[in-house]
Structure 1
Amino acid sequence: MTEANPLSDLAWTRGYTDPAWIRRFTSAGRELSPTRRVWRGPGGPSDLPARSGPPETSGPGTSELDTMPLALDGNAAITLPDLFAAAQTDAFLVLHRGSVVYERYLHGTEAHTPHFNASAAKSYLGLVAAVLAHQGLLDRDALTRTYVPELAGTAFGEARIQDLLHMGTQVTYGGRPFDKSIEAQRYFAAIAPRMRPLEYHGPTTIREHLLTARATGAPGTGFRYENGNVEALAEVLRRITGLSTSALLGDILWSGIGAEEDAYYVLDGDGVEAASGGFSATARDIARLGEMLRCQGAVRGRQVVPEAVAGTIVGGVPDGYPRRVRLPGAPATVPATLSYHDLWWIPNDTHGSFMASGIHGQRLFVSPGLDLVVVHFGSQVVSPSVPAAPLVQAFLGIGAHLSAAVAA
């Protein structure tokens, strides 16, 4: 498919520049787009007990963690209220050893409010794919076109499933030079009519968008963070199971973690889920997902995810892929210290931590060595002129403090 208009249109690079405008989209997906629910299942919610009395929420009081200085590498210490201001935090929840020790909601967000998870949703789909591979339903070494013949000849169709799971494709769309921020905007335009500039003539569905992808290099030889890998993977999973992405995530994860609320996906014009970032759920339910993974895939003594899957998220990066990468948008001056495995980010700390990460500050941080799960939802502006909030350093500082307090 060809484009009638050149990329010089500034609409493609405008981005999200106002936290209040961002928050409108992170908290109101059902009001703005067609969606499909991810059912929480027939059972009741699993417990999220408070360690001692009700956890601190959005009320006027403060907790010990509010006033504790969090030391940051090479920077002055920061407190949680300062962190929340810097990150435009909407929700923040901390579990330690399975108990809620801190819970805070800001800017109108409430405990029952589903919030946009953005690219953190990639990791959830990666977990589903890993489960299906463990069950023998998905061959990591198979070419994507084996499952989705229509993608033959595209950058994704000629890549292996393993390449999709590790952002291992080198791709350009519609013959354009690849620019991540612009392609992200064009991906949104393919999904949502309200995101399209005047006289838009590009793809109007995710499948149409994927069909314009062409390889600029051999797959499995580099790392390029790109939504199309996840959308192609989601189509593969739909083909092998016969289920929608919503039903599949519900069957494998959501109905097993004891969620309180249904989650949901945003849909494109074909009724296909935006799997790489169109997922919304509450902070409490994402915390349940993280706690299940911290407990090696088990909830209430029942195995939701095979231990062999949950226990290998922090595992060896397959041969041919970079051992160290940066978060999307990180300046080249930032050291490449992270690993990337099955669509999860690995900080490579001494605690075996791993993380789902999304734009605007969405994080699910699981640290088995610190007995810690942290959920952060935000509406932070993404811009070179707006410093990224030091979320992971703060999470580790909280975990170290809680572990020391228990040991004392």
Structure 2
Amino acid sequence: MVDASAFKATHGFERSEVRLCNWRAAPWNVWAFRNVSEFIPTARIAAASGLTEEPVVDAGELLRETFLLNGRSITVAEALRETSTDAMVVMKSGRIVADFHAPDFTLQSRHILFSVSKSVTSIIAGILRDDGLLDFDERVPCYVPELEASAYDDARVCDVLDMRVNLDFEEIYHDRHGSHARYRRAGLFDPPEPGGGMETVVEFLAGLKKGKADHGEAYQYASPNSDVLGLVIQGASGRRFPDLASERLFRPLGARQDAYVTVDRAGTPRTGGGINMTARDLARIGEMMRNGGTADGNRIVSQNWVHETVTGGSRKAWAESASVSWLPHGRYHNKWYQTGSGAFFALGIHGQWLYIDPRATMVVAKFSSQPDAIVDDAKDFNLALFDALASIV
């Protein structure tokens, strides 16, 4: 039983104050992002058995290092504080060199990835392609018949992977009444409307309409595409996503702690934004990607898929999108971002990052509870931090 007075003394609010209507807002999000399974249904993604975590690696020396940000000298500790960081793991040449934990965060604490989930999910798609079970050039309804008459009717799996599906959908995080609000409600991320019905994720996706242009052209960021990818994975494999993710990724990776993924009322996993895991296990995924698809001697996904993911994609599609303003030399392929300078990363709202710099042999996993869902200045801040870390560690 939770001691209500102790909870309030620690967090500044009562546990009963955290609800579906406010869990992504400050100050409640700091606790909520670490405890999603208390208010949204989840499915377990089992870790490897018999493995334990090594002790925390003190980050004190690293936190005192300074770097320049827009002409201002700032310490790493100040940068973490100003970006509302909950945890950060830094790996160098396969070794953990620093763990940062905010108060009440531990090696066992799991945190929601939000859209970093998309990049994790794409690895499972790559594994199925390696197995010959998934054809990226095939139409989505070949794997998910329920989407036959939707916007995805003539979309290919590769269009879904590269966010080049033309949807009549706007990703507006603070909109309480549009298509994105319906999407959140279907995934149980928001409370139902008073007196309104409750769609499942599949019902919501099946009702999406195509935009005016063709698929496969412009880059249009839309989270529903990544839930479609989860359904494609289940259709191609005949397996539940969390079971497949455990068997083919988390266990061979050597993940130390079980992860989990949120599900809707029909049990459909929110692969577009609902995976929760520890910072160290996320860093291990990044290290696997840095090593071309291997971890602890286990081949998880092909080197060809990793190489294609971190070097492919359309420069034109990115350059013509609004995202070019914050990543001018970037590209997006297989649900991973490329910086244009060799580094690549996964990114989620409120400041979730998995950043890999192969030239610096560095991986950074960073969890945050930024008050705003998405701010381009915060992205610039974090990218500057990662560049600085690459020269420090």
- Band the TM-score falls in, shorter-chain normalisation: 0.7 to 0.9
Residues 117, 274 of structure 2: 8 Å contact kept: yes
Residues 309, 334 of structure 2: 8 Å contact kept: yes
* Aligned equivalent of 1:213, options 208, 212, 216: 208
Alignment of 1:49-128 (within 5 A): 55-56=57-58, 62-63=60-61, 65-72=62-69, 74-128=70-124
Quick one: which amino acid aligns to residue 191 of structure 1?
A: G
1:25 corresponds in structure 2 to 32
Which deviates further from its counterpart, 288-297 or 115-124? 288-297
* 1:311-361 alpha-carbon deviations (Å, 9 max, x no partner): 33212215974357565xxxx854533210000011111xx2111110011
Separation of aligned partners in 1, 2:227 and 2:243: 16
Please give the secondary structure, in 1, of the residue aligned with 2:38.
helix
1:302 corresponds in structure 2 to 298
Residues 16, 382 of structure 1: 8 Å contact kept: no
Shift of 1:131: 2.0
1:252 equivalenced with 2:243 (yes/no): no
Separation of aligned partners in 2, 1:83 and 1:136: 44
* 1:209-240 alpha-carbon deviations (Å, 9 max, x no partner): 10111101211111111111111111111011
Please give the secondary structure, in 2, of the residue aligned with 1:220.
coil
Separation of aligned partners in 1, 2:164 and 2:22: 26
2:235 corresponds in structure 1 to 239
Shift of 1:298: 1.7
Shift of 1:83: 1.3
* 1:133-174 alpha-carbon deviations (Å, 9 max, x no partner): 22221111111112222211211232000100000112125x
Instruction: Please give the TM-score of this superposition, normalised by the length of structure 2.
Output: 0.86
1:41 equivalenced with 2:36 (yes/no): no
Separation of aligned partners in 1, 2:86 and 2:374: 22
Please give the secondary structure, in 2, of the residue aligned with 1:90.
strand
Which 4+ residue blocks in structure 1 deviate beyond 6 angstroms? 14-17, 383-386
Instruction: Please give the TM-score of this superposition, normalised by the length of structure 1.
Output: 0.83
Count of residues in Structure 1 that have an aligned counterpart in Structure 2: 367
Fraction of identical pairs, as percent:
26
* 1:30-86 alpha-carbon deviations (Å, 9 max, x no partner): 1112111101133535x76x8xxx6215xxxx31x21211223x3423212211222
**Structure 1 residues 19 and 85: CA distance shift in structure 2, 3 A:** farther
Residues 310, 333 of structure 2: 8 Å contact kept: yes
Separation of aligned partners in 2, 1:333 and 1:279: 28
Which deviates further from its counterpart, 128-137 or 161-170? 128-137
1:358 equivalenced with 2:348 (yes/no): yes
Separation of aligned partners in 2, 1:302 and 1:268: 33
**Structure 1 residues 319 and 162: CA distance shift in structure 2, 3 A:** farther
Which deviates further from its counterpart, 382-391 or 109-118? 382-391
Please give the secondary structure, in 2, of the residue aligned with 1:199.
coil
Which deviates further from its counterpart, 164-173 or 299-308? 299-308
Separation of aligned partners in 2, 1:88 and 1:211: 37
Please give the secondary structure, in 2, of the residue aligned with 1:40.
coil
**Structure 1 residues 106 and 117: CA distance shift in structure 2, 3 A:** same
Separation of aligned partners in 2, 1:268 and 1:289: 26
Separation of aligned partners in 2, 1:384 and 1:292: 27
Separation of aligned partners in 1, 2:364 and 2:375: 27
Separation of aligned partners in 2, 1:333 and 1:323: 9
**Structure 1 residues 335 and 120: CA distance shift in structure 2, 3 A:** closer
Please give the secondary structure, in 2, of the residue aligned with 1:255.
helix
Residues 354, 366 of structure 1: 8 Å contact kept: yes
2:365 corresponds in structure 1 to 375
2:338 corresponds in structure 1 to 346
Separation of aligned partners in 2, 1:40 and 1:193: 25
Alignment of 1:54-203 (within 5 A): 55-56=57-58, 62-63=60-61, 65-72=62-69, 74-172=70-168, 178=170, 180-181=172-173, 182=175, 183-192=179-188, 195-201=191-197, 203=198
